[in-house]
Amino acid sequence: MSIGEALLTARRVVVKVGSSSVSGDNAAQIPTLVSSLARLHAAGAEVILVSSGAIATGVPFLQLDTRPDDLATQQAAAAVGQNILVNRYQRALGSHDIIAGQVLLTAHDMENPTHRGNARRAIERLLQLGILPIINENDTVATHEIRFGDNDRLAALVARLIDADRLVLLSDVDALYTAPPTTVGATRIAHVPYGDALSGIEIGETQSGWGTGGAATKVQAARLATDAGVAVLLTETRLLAPVLDGADHGTRFDPRPGDSLD
């Protein structure tokens, strides 16, 4: 079974997309991404989107040229950008007759048993009602001390929370490599068996100017998910559609024994 077939026959799929893939000029990728989500939805999967991009989307509307360094301006940008970002998603989803539901979480929500239970019930009910939840960190109220650190980790925690069987981590990098992709001789790692320590692999911390996660955070998130029995695919946002068509892209991480993206 191809990776695409495994995703199209999945019961519940969490898809995470990074800031650089859905903000700035790349905001034009949102309809294509949504088409892939709609394809999964039509195939019978319950789909949850974890989307970064609130701050990056809001910054231009604050007449700023770069990501702000101070927390207050980041929070202001998030407040503006989250509204615009979800509106863009809903416009794209509307053409597929899908309604989005916004869920904003903080690290405290995932650590506190009561809040965690409330989040789980809300997401489960949205799925029962045929709504596509769009989840992001609540950047308007989160502080540096209580942040997830990146939405890769948030996506893995959400996948564990709702017992998903697949997690797709999308960014502007097509796969995990044996060294940073710009390094001469670096080759794609297509498959990571469960428990593989990736010894000898140089995993970089490189990240875009907008996102907060690099390859290392994605590997950490993948391990967090696979430990809970969730199969993971790491690939580039624009490659999700070809993957669903059967193309071999990205890096797949096997979950603990008993399930696989094969």
CB 203 within 8 A of CB 138: no
Model confidence over 148-170: pLDDT tens digits?
557 899 999 999 999 999 999 99
Q: Which residues are annotated as a binding site for ATP?
A: 16, 171-172
Q: Would you state the pLDDT for residue 66?
A: 84
Q: What is the pLDDT of residue 142?
A: 66
Give the model's pLDDT for residue 244. Answer: 97
Q: Find, among 16, 23, 220, 7, the residue nearest to 133 by Cα.
A: 16
Q: Is 51 helix (H, G, I), strand (E, B) or coil?
A: strand
| Fold for the domain defined by 3-253 | Carbamate kinase (3.40.1160)
Every domain of the chain and the residues it spans: 3-253
pLDDT tens, 40-54? 999 999 999 999 999
User: Which positions of the chain have pLDDT values less than 70?
Assistant: 142-149, 203-213, 258-262
Give binding residues for substrate as ranges.
52, 139, 151
Residue at 165: amino acid letter:
D
Note the pTM of the prediction, 2 decimals.
Answer: 0.92
Residues annotated in the binding site, as ranges? 16, 52, 139, 151, 171-172
